[in-house]
Amino acid sequence: MFPERAQLLVMVLDLLGVFAFALSGALVGVRKKFDIFGVLVLAGATGLGGGIIRDLMIGAVPPAALTDWWYLLVPLLAGLITFLFHRVVDRLETWVVFFDALGLGLFCAVGTIKALGHELTLLPAVLMGVVTAAGGGIVRDLLAHRVPIVFRGELYAIPALAGAVVTGIGVQLGWGSLVPAGAGLIVAITWRLLAVRRGWSAPIALHTPSGQPDDH
Amino acid sequence: MFPERAQLLVMVLDLLGVFAFALSGALVGVRKKFDIFGVLVLAGATGLGGGIIRDLMIGAVPPAALTDWWYLLVPLLAGLITFLFHRVVDRLETWVVFFDALGLGLFCAVGTIKALGHELTLLPAVLMGVVTAAGGGIVRDLLAHRVPIVFRGELYAIPALAGAVVTGIGVQLGWGSLVPAGAGLIVAITWRLLAVRRGWSAPIALHTPSGQPDDH
Amino acid sequence: MFPERAQLLVMVLDLLGVFAFALSGALVGVRKKFDIFGVLVLAGATGLGGGIIRDLMIGAVPPAALTDWWYLLVPLLAGLITFLFHRVVDRLETWVVFFDALGLGLFCAVGTIKALGHELTLLPAVLMGVVTAAGGGIVRDLLAHRVPIVFRGELYAIPALAGAVVTGIGVQLGWGSLVPAGAGLIVAITWRLLAVRRGWSAPIALHTPSGQPDDH
């Protein structure tokens, strides 16, 4: 997928992203007073969920998360650290947000490239990039029994979409994989971090009825 | 799966069903005040979710939704239209209910036939028909953080089951695919529209405890 | 997977486990006042959900639940019985807890062995054992719109993990499949039943903030 020299770098960055995602999942679990199993499941589901859904959908089974021990050890570690030292992790929020943005950027780029490598065309491949980047957070919120925050104005998926589009078009133009991935990653991370810093949010529809949403 | 002349007709009807399902998903998203991304995800998940689950389970990967652009463009369009003009869509409810019933009928018939074509026997194939028809709505409600309405008395899955049974038995009897699909579709749509018009609902168990359900 | 003479025994025990899981799912559905369709879906999802997720992830499609009628008939039966006679089922709770523990033990052992047979290494195979055992209950709670009880201190997944580890190590040591499965099963069931009887629960993190968890 990537030139051999770059493989290790991509994998290390990818695992950093998994680690950051897993921390965010584990923190939600601790705040919900989940037990150790719940915290570890949330760590794993958040760190690996997006990639697993992508792999199931493109037919890459067993998913990468099950064939390389690192992909199980990293979220396990993130979960245990958060379970034991959640007050410290909580205070490192700036770092978590930064690594989370790194994960977002990497996941959308890597997911798009992997999907293109499985003979998907541009539009579905971009969609798989977004699924890789945003899927883990959605699974986390489903398991934690709350509305996915990525649907509630948090500007998260749109930077991932932009990164996936840049990556996908770059690959289609024949620029290899490393340059498009780098460009997509930079677009997604920059946009995401600007959104966090400036409090940008995604638009909601105008004139929605006021009062309680229908919550039967 | 279908005779060549019928392929186009089936696909157009199928896309109409996807469109109606996607509208219903997008409307839920707007009412929940989800942002544009949330509305589009709900549109896509409702329109395509049932078929994707079916395809993953019968081993038809990548799912049809990822190999044909129309299946991504139609829910995207439905989501955007609803996001921009939800008050209009809201007022067209009668039409949405009708197209939704059309989708229900088509999805249960097409899903059953596709499963039979992947060497499933009658009972699992019928189940896959019901999953195709009712899965999208269940995914929609999970993502929107509400109890699936299809579990709460809404007479929805039972017409789909009837349609899937009729379709499956017809195919097993050697009647080809078009006649059984047509018969199953008519049974499901008719039953569904009668249920809507007359307020029929699915039975719940007798003597259930009164008061709040255990909602920890 | 198992020696031929043992196949029937394993399958009968497996179906007993599916039956118990399905009862627990159906009871939740009845208590939530779901209609007949909702009760049957909860029965099927609880009884078969863990195995289906495992099979999708290891690439064993269509999942066993779709290729052998017994795996559809047993949860259907459990769902119908519960729907009609839920007050009786409710009163048999001791038996349900026992069979549920039997299912837990069997599922973690069988799931681990099946995953090892699909060329997964020890750690992912153990994980698949836990997914087989605990996945159905998580799916049940997602569909029933409640927090997965397996995350809330209920000592359930940890016995499954122990059973999966024992099974997996036994198989890796070359002890065949029957002895490791038996050992894993006994570990998981014993631990689970002791936990129920003595009210053991899984640990939650220290110093979690008091007050309401962030439930936006």
Residue found under tokens 């009712």? B134
B6-31 confidence digits (pLDDT tens): 778 888 888 988 998 999 999 999 99
- With bands split at pLDDT 50, 70 and 90, how would you rate the model's confidence at A148? very high
Q: Is residue A42 within 8 Å of residue A136, measured between CB atoms?
A: no
Give the minimum alpha-carbon distance from A37 to chain C in angstroms, rounded to a whole number: 6
Question: Taking CB atoms and an 8 Å limit, are C124 and A72 in contact across chains?
Answer: yes
Give the Cα separation of B124 and A87 in Å (integer).
49
- b/e map C189-206, b = 16+ CB within 10 Å: bebbbebbeeeeebebbe
User: Residues with Cβ < 8 Å from C91, sequence gap 6 or more?
Assistant: none
B30-69 confidence digits (pLDDT tens): 999 999 999 999 999 999 999 999 999 999 999 988 998 8
Residue found under tokens 């999966």? C164
Pull the structure tokens for residue B53. Answer: 């689950």
pTM value surpassing 0.90:
yes
What's the confidence (pLDDT) of residue A209? 64
Question: Taking CB atoms and an 8 Å limit, are B150 and C56 in contact across chains?
Answer: no
Give the Cα separation of B179 and B174 in Å (integer).
10
Q: Which member of A127, A157, A208 has the closest CB to residue B33? A: A208
Asked which of A37-46, A99-108, A159-168, C9-18 is least confident by mean pLDDT, the reply is: C9-18
Backbone angles phi, psi at B202, to 5 degrees: -75, 150
A200-211 confidence digits (pLDDT tens): 988 898 877 654
Q: Which member of A39, A56, A86 has the closest CB to residue C56? A: A56
A168 vs A2, A102, A116, A128, B130, CA distance in Å?
Answer: 14, 18, 8, 11, 35
Residue found under tokens 């679990």? A29
Nearest residue on chain A to B63, judged by CA atoms? A57
Give the minimum alpha-carbon distance from C209 to chain A in angstroms, rounded to a whole number: 7
B60-115 confidence digits (pLDDT tens): 999 988 998 899 999 999 999 999 999 988 888 788 888 889 989 999 999 999 99
Residues of A in contact with B65 (CB under 8 A): 124
Residues of A in contact with B82 (CB under 8 A): 205
Nearest to A143 by CA among C203, C147, C134: C147
How does the average pLDDT of chain A come out, rounded?
A: 90
Interface test mutation site (partner B, options C31, C32, C35, max chain B beta carbons within 10 A): C35
C45-75 confidence digits (pLDDT tens): 999 999 999 999 999 999 988 998 899 999 9
Give the Cα separation of B23 and C114 in Å (integer).
41
Nearest to A76 by CA among C95, C123, C82: C123
Give the Cα separation of C127 and C129 in Å (integer).
5
**Which residues of B touch chain A, with CB atoms under 8 Å apart?**
29-39, 41-42, 52, 56, 61-63, 65-67, 69, 72, 82-84, 86-87, 142-147, 149, 152
Residues of C in contact with B145 (CB under 8 A): 145
B157 vs A162, B7, B181, B196, C39, CA distance in Å?
Answer: 38, 26, 17, 13, 12
A neighbours by CB contacts (3+ pairs under 8 Å):
B, C
Which sequence spans correspond to the domains of chain C?
A: 4-198
Give the minimum alpha-carbon distance from A57 to chain C in angstroms, rounded to a whole number: 10
Question: Taking CB atoms and an 8 Å limit, are C202 and A86 in contact across chains?
Answer: no
- Residue A112 pLDDT exceeds 50: yes
Asked which of A21-25, C43-47, C153-157 is least confident by mean pLDDT, the reply is: C153-157
SS (H, E, C) chain B: CCCHHHHHHHHHHHHHHHHHHHHHHHHHHHHCCCEHHHHHHHHHHHHHHHHHHHHHHHCCCCCHHHHCCHHHHHHHHHHHHHHHHHHHHHHCHHHHHHHHHHHHHHHHHHHHHHHHHCCCCHHHHHHHHHHHHHHHHHHHHHHCCCCCHHHCCECCHHHHHHHHHHHHHHHHCCCCCHHHHHHHHHHHHHHHHHHHHHCCECCECCCCCCCCCCCC
What's the confidence (pLDDT) of residue C64? 87
Question: Taking CB atoms and an 8 Å limit, are B203 and C36 in contact across chains?
Answer: yes
**Which residues of B touch chain C, with CB atoms under 8 Å apart?**
56-59, 118, 120-121, 123-124, 127-128, 138, 142, 145-148, 150-154, 156-158, 161, 201-205, 207-209, 213-216
Give the Cα separation of B5 and B9 in Å (integer).
8
User: Residues with Cβ < 8 Å from C68, sequence gap 6 or more?
Assistant: none
* pLDDT > 70: percent of chain A: 96
Q: How many residues does chain A have?
A: 216
Stronger pLDDT, C96 or B103, i.e. the higher one: B103
* pLDDT > 70: percent of chain C: 96
B143-182 confidence digits (pLDDT tens): 999 999 999 988 999 999 999 999 999 999 999 989 999 9
